[in-house]
Amino acid sequence: MFDGIPDPRGLDAAPWVLRRRPWHARLASWLRRCGEKARQRRALARLDARLLADVGLTRAEATRECAKPFWR
């Protein structure tokens, strides 16, 4: 029964967010995110005006987004 006191057995089952991942795992995750951003921006650059209008962007907005470096 829950009485407001946390179960001591559950302390080691903290969410993964609270645990610190090793630097190489964080680096790998960051590199994956950067690669995904670059892939999405390449796909955005290939869209024609009709498709850009469908997603609510102008050519100028798409060009600005595609000009960003991969880490932003």
Q: Residues 45, 62: contact at Cβ < 8 Å?
A: yes
4 dihedral zone (left: phi>0; alpha: psi -120 to 50; beta): left
Interval 7-33: pLDDT, tens: 555 555 556 555 788 999 999 999 999
pLDDT at 46 over 90: yes
pLDDT of residue 71: 83
pTM over 0.75, yes/no? no
